Every structure is written in structure tokens, then in C-alpha cells.
Amino acid sequence: MTDYAIGDIQGCYDPLKSVLAKVDFSPSRDKLWVAGDLINRGPSSLKTLRYIENLGDAAVVVLGNHDLHLLAVALGGHGLKRKDTLEEILNAPDCDKLVNWLRQQHLCVHDPERNLIMAHAGLPHIWSLKQALACASEVEEVIRSKQASEYFSLMYGNKPEVWSEGLTGMDRWRIITNYFTRMRFIANDGRLELTAKESAGTAPEGFAPWFEFPRTDNLRVIFGHWAALEGKTGIERFTGLDTGCVWGGALTMMNLDTGEKIHCDC
């Protein structure tokens, strides 16, 4: 039995199958940890989503911003964007089943034996592990509840910019969502800068990549989301797996125990 983590697939089904074939992946034996953005922008979002949903317990999934976007369109009244490739899912006979399955997934997952956490965008230094898991659980419960439509209708936005324990309601849920699914650059006090999307060396003044701030624990963090990094953080325990498959780069998968990375050119 081997556990693998894979970066942003974004509907690139053929590269997904190719990289899994390189390790003879079998859902009866192995597990696939998916670091969010299963769908959108690529050519085969429906096929990809169906495949991962069909893995059952062999898939460990966190939600990315593109996955949440599908839910926002399906449940929150938002329209599709020009570059979206989600219509096939929305028109599929099993759309409701797939949407409901996505709603059961996590914003972060923790493996205490491996001392690692996986979240789509990463883990802000201002949160302890306990606090991060509590915040994730709080929003996950909303997404699975009767409040989901209201949440998705109001999910988008860059405010508030910084975490406070006193935040309530949608402001609280939105910034938790932004930390887990949209974060790249952050300030020392936890303030987010959500407009810059370039490489780590182009941080706006007063901000830095989230993984450059010290943590008081030795937790390993696996994330996707930031293709411009090309998987490189310069810090061993922070592992980026988004290597830009949908942009013509590569799809990257990693053995969680050995650290070996397996690539498939896209």
C-alpha cells in the first residue's frame, strides 16, 4: 500500500491516468491525496471528477478554489466565467451526485502519523494546527448544511483581509476559505494580498510567500494552487505540487513516505 499526493489536475484526465500508470496505482491497494482544483480550465473536467469520486475511500481530497467555483455556480447563483470548462459537469445526468460528493470533501486534512497537513493553498503561520483544523471544520459544516446556498452566494471577495477570532458569519467563513484556497502572499500579521499571482520573488511590499514565515511546529505542509512556483519553495517541509499541468507544464505526484516525485508532461 502506497499513499501518493498529486497537484492541481484541473480536468487534465489523460495526464492524470498517465502519471498513475507510472506507479501502477491501484485503488484496492493505494491512496491518492488530491491537493484541490480537481477540475476547470482543462479539457476533461467531468471525466476527472467522476474518476476521483469513483475512487471512494482511496481518494483523500481537499477543495481548491476551482472546485468551490463549481459549487458556487451550482448552488450559489453565480455564472460561469469565460475560461471555465464546467458546462459538461453542470449538464451531466449525475451533476447533483457529483456536487453533493464535492460538498463532503475537506478544506484541509491532517495525517498525525506522518506529521503532515494538506490544504490547497497552504497553511497561514498565524494558525496553530489545532486552530487550522477547527477553522476548516467550521466552514466544511456550512458547506454541507442548508446554509450552503447562502454561503456560496456570498463567498467571493477579498474582505476581510486579516483573521480575527472575533469575526462572525460570512466574514469569518470567507477569510477562512481564502486562507485555505486562495492564499499566496501574506503579511506578518496574517493580512492577505490576493491580487498578486506571480512567482515567490515578486512579493508586494510588506508581504512574503506564506511558507517563508516561521512556524512554532515542525509540521509538513503539502499544497497546490501556485503554479508559478513550479513546485519550488526552498523549504523542505513545504511541498508545492502544482506544476502547471493545465498551462502546458507537468502534472506532479509524490510518494508521501519516500518523497519521490513522479511527473507527466502535459
Q: Strand 31-34 vs strand 3-6: parallel, antiparallel, or unpaired?
A: parallel
Domain, as residue range, for 24 = 3-265
Count Cβ atoms below 10 Å from residue 42 Cβ, excluding itself.
25
Q: Select from 3, 59, 63 the least CA-distant residue to 39.
A: 63
Closest-CA residue to 66 (of 88, 42, 47): 42
Q: What is the pLDDT of residue 265?
A: 85
pLDDT per residue over 223-245, tens digit each? Answer: 999 999 999 999 999 999 999 99
Residues in contact with 93: Cβ distance below 8 Å, sequence separation at least 6, in sequence order: none
Q: Which residues of 141-176 are buried (b: 16+ CB within 10 A; e: fewer)?
A: ebbeeeebeebbeebeeeeeeebeeeeeebebbbbb
pLDDT score for 266: 82
Give CA–CA dist 152/142, Å, rounded.
10
Is 118 strand, coil or helix? strand
CATH code of the domain covering residue 22: 3.60.21.10
pLDDT of residue 7: 96
Question: What is the domain count for the chain?
Answer: 1
Non-local (6+) Cβ contacts of 82 within 8 A are none
Residue 117: beta bridge partners? 110, 221
pTM: 0.97
Q: Which of 255, 254, 260, 194 is nearest to 224 (CA)?
A: 254
Q: List, for the chain, all residue ranges whose pLDDT scores fall below the cut of 70.
A: none
